[in-house]
């Protein structure tokens, strides 16, 4: 019994936040390889995409955290740790906002695409509590990226958002999604993607300030167009 207690204590000691699973570099590499294969085979396996993001984000995540720490709004987000979930959103208030406002268009995006902010997986494999929040935040603002970029949740829309996020975050998962996501698109869609959408997403990603430094919960009334301009996202083609 004593041994069991010691083991439990050791586990608790290594668990940095609820749900955290401590892993060695080798385990991370195996998880990354397995999840990459699964995510490429089925891009809608969000759980695999999530694992890939956590096991390969060791360089990009600290970089994103530093960008947040050196920005007044980003720093406040790190301190206050807001969450975008159905439990924290006042959906009826957002629905009542004027057309064109971030809140109204965000709810419209959720409803049209039948998605919920609660489907984002909590992090498990990030071995730093603050970095775990950074990747959580990245996941929770993903639907807001769709809203700002005016992209649906179909394969074409996801690939465009992934290109924007890849440039913005440097997360290998986004780079992989951006590179291999188009494999299943028709020739016509690929043409639109290559000639118009991807160049626009890359230009916007390079031009825009860090999207994690926006306290979206305090910007619901702001028109999408004005927020787009403020961040530096070019109008969608």
pLDDT confidence tier of residue 236, bands split at 50, 70 and 90: confident
In tens, the pLDDT along 4-16 reads 554 554 444 578 9
Is 164 exposed, middle or buried, given 0-12, 13-18 or 19+ CB atoms closer than 10 A?
Answer: buried
Whole-model pTM over 0.85? yes
For residue 101, what are the β-bridge partners? Answer: 223
Render pLDDT for 87-146 as a digit per residue (tens, 0 to 9).
999 999 999 999 999 999 999 999 999 999 998 889 999 999 999 999 999 999 999 999
Residues 6+ apart with CB under 8 A from 68: 74, 75, 77, 78, 134, 210, 212, 213
Domain positions in the chain: 1-231
Give the pLDDT score at 41. Answer: 75
Asked whether residue 49 carries a pLDDT value surpassing 90, the answer given is: no
Give me the helix-helix angle, 129-140 and 72-80, nearest 10°: 110
pLDDT at residue 54, rounded to an integer: 86
């Amino acid at each position: 019994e004593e041994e069991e207690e010691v083991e439990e204590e050791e586990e608790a000691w290594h668990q940095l936040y609820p749900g955290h699973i401590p892993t060695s570099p080798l385990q991370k590499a195996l998880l990354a390889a397995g999840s990459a294969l699964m995510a490429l085979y089925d891009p809608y396996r969000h759980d695999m995409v999530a694992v890939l993001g956590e096991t390969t984000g060791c360089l990009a995540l600290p970089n994103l955290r530093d960008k947040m720490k050196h920005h007044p709004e980003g720093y406040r987000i790190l301190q206050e740790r807001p969450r975008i979930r159905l439990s924290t959103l006042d959906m009826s208030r957002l629905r009542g906002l004027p057309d064109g406002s971030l809140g109204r268009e965000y709810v419209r995006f959720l409803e049209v695409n039948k998605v919920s902010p609660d489907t984002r997986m909590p992090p498990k494999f990030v071995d730093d509590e603050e970095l775990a929040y950074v990747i959580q935040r990245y996941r929770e603002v993903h639907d807001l990226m769709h809203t700002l970029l005016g992209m649906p949740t179909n394969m074409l829309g996801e690939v465009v958002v992934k290109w924007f996020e890849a440039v913005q975050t440097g997360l290998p998962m986004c780079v992989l999604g951006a590179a291999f996501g188009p494999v299943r698109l028709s020739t016509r869609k690929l043409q639109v993607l290559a000639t118009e959408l991807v160049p626009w997403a890359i230009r916007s990603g390079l031009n825009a300030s860090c999207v994690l430094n926006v306290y979206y919960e305090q910007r619901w009334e702001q028109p999408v167009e004005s927020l787009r301009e403020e961040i530096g996202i070019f109008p969608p083609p």
